[in-house]
Amino acid sequence: MNYILFDSDVRQALLPFTYTRPVADIRIGILTIREKWEKYLGLTTTTITEAYLEEKYPMVELDKNILINASFCPTKSLVEKVKNLSEKEAIFKGEDVIAFYTTDSQEEVDFDTYTQIEFEEEIIQIKNTWDIFTFNGKAIQEDFNLLTEDRKSEPIPKGIAVLNKENIFIEPGAEIVFSTLNASEGPIYIGKDALIMDGAAIRGPFAMCNNAVVKMGAKIYKDTTIGPFSKIGGEVSNSVIFGYSSKGHDGYLGNSVLGEWCNLGADTNNSNLKNNYAEVKLWSYETNRFAKTGLQFCGLMMGDHSKCGINTMFNTGTVVGVSANIFGGGFPRNFIPSYSWGGSAGFTVFQMNKVYEVATAVLKRRSLLFSDVDKKILDHVFEETKQYRNF
């Protein structure tokens, strides 16, 4: 069977993260949504996404296809139902389609002609950017169960203070030095070749992906994910870092999501609670205004390739687009458009030739190439986001 993950109508609500990736490639828990589906299915998947992303994330369509709404995270029981779908059958959760089996073109789908199956069990669906950190603890537990089933952890090194060691899994090549791992409230997963330096204190649920680094004396609170090749120091709580990003120094990051190739300068701090304890509002790319989140705690949403200088202070509920560069004293505005250069004193446009230079240098440090395909994606995002740069 051919499985295709499609973006669905939540894509706009998941900007700025979906400017540079399909919904399927959002990380929540330990794995991306695509990696979860592929692990359960035992097969690779392709994607229906925006046209400008198709060269990097192509779609393969065969005569018979099962299309899966990428905003839903899989469970064992859901995957069984998806695998057992027959032609012209669709699985729904309320009014949202989860998956359907079709032999028709995907230009138009009339679900009135389908046999509709209601999925009644609880399931994680990512509809808003803040859902990524809100549901992260639950997603870590589900991924932990999936990845560690019938497997044996590497031994916990000597000199590590541990609570509930049965809830800790260490992959081969990981190194942990004189640190504290408290898995009494949820699992702790340490990925392949990851490094936890001296004096770090970590509470689960916590996920650390391959080749990630937790630096000396870091304080990591529950429901936090550190993506592959990311470096984290200071204090982090209930946050998701997709990968290849750095918060290498002291400073606080809470109830936040960082995309890939981000860097937070030393002593960068974000507020995750308003002084009057009121509900946090976040910039909405759907309505082009600030929208209620229903949350009292909500911090920083930062798109791919964005960076900030030392001592940067982010207000509660700040959204930063793609390839922004923020620096200087004071609090910058709480919606910073893509390709902004500046800070509280004002912004100018971060010119594309400089964007390419930075991206090339940053990827080169990881022995990776800033490809023509990646360049085309950033070019498209630059044009698409012009409307927000009124400076």
66-114 per-position pLDDT tens digit = 999 999 999 999 999 999 999 999 999 999 999 999 987 666 788 999 9
Do 255 and 295 lie in a common domain? Answer: no
Query: Is residue 158 situated within a structural domain?
Result: yes
Alpha-carbon distance 166 to 146, whole Å?
15
Do 113 and 180 lie in a common domain? Answer: no
Do 41 and 141 lie in a common domain? Answer: no
Average pLDDT of the residues in 213-242: 98
pLDDT at 106: 63
- Number of helices and strands (H, E) in the chain? 6, 35
Query: Is residue 266 situated within a structural domain?
Result: no
Query: Given pLDDT bands bounded at 50, 70 and 90, which one contains residue 191?
Result: very high
Query: Given pLDDT bands bounded at 50, 70 and 90, which one contains residue 284?
Result: very high
Element (H, E) at 82: helix 76-83
Query: Is residue 124 situated within a structural domain?
Result: no
Q: What is the CATH number of the domain that holds 240?
A: 2.160.10.10
From 66, 86, 118, the end of a domain falls on 118
From 92, 118, 144, the end of a domain falls on 118
pLDDT at 373: 98
Do 112 and 138 lie in a common domain? Answer: no
Do 134 and 256 lie in a common domain? Answer: yes
CA atoms within 13 A on the CB side of 230: 27
pLDDT at 348: 97
Alpha-carbon distance 63 to 187, whole Å?
42
pLDDT more than 90, % of the chain: 97
| 176: containing domain | 129-260
Cβ atoms of 282 and 130 within 8 Å: the answer is yes
Query: Is residue 358 situated within a structural domain?
Result: yes
pLDDT at 99: 98
- Computed over every residue of the chain, the mean pLDDT equals 96
Chain segment 22-34, per-residue pLDDT in tens: 999 999 999 999 9
Query: Is residue 113 situated within a structural domain?
Result: yes
Do 186 and 114 lie in a common domain? Answer: no
Buried/exposed 49-75: b ≥16 CB within 10 Å, e otherwise: bbeebeebbebeeeeebbbbbbbbbbb
**What is the domain count for the chain?**
3
Do 109 and 19 lie in a common domain? Answer: yes
Query: Is residue 276 situated within a structural domain?
Result: no
Cβ atoms of 48 and 106 within 8 Å: the answer is yes
Do 15 and 84 lie in a common domain? Answer: yes
**DSSP characters for 109-144?**
--GGGSEEEE--S---B--STTHHHHTHHHHHHHHH
Q: Residues 363, 336, 313, 210: what is their CA dihedral angle, to the nearest 10 degrees?
A: -30
pLDDT at 365: 93
Is the model more confident about 385 or about 391?
385
Chain segment 294-309, per-residue pLDDT in tens: 999 999 999 999 999 9
pLDDT at 107: 66
**Which residues lie below 8 Å from residue 158, measured CB to CB, with a gap of 6+?**
none
**DSSP characters for 337-350?**
-TTEEEETTEEEE-
Query: Is residue 268 situated within a structural domain?
Result: no
Average pLDDT of the residues in 286-301: 96
Do 82 and 181 lie in a common domain? Answer: no
pLDDT at 307: 98
Do 94 and 186 lie in a common domain? Answer: no
Chain segment 348-380, per-residue pLDDT in tens: 999 999 999 999 999 999 999 999 999 999 999
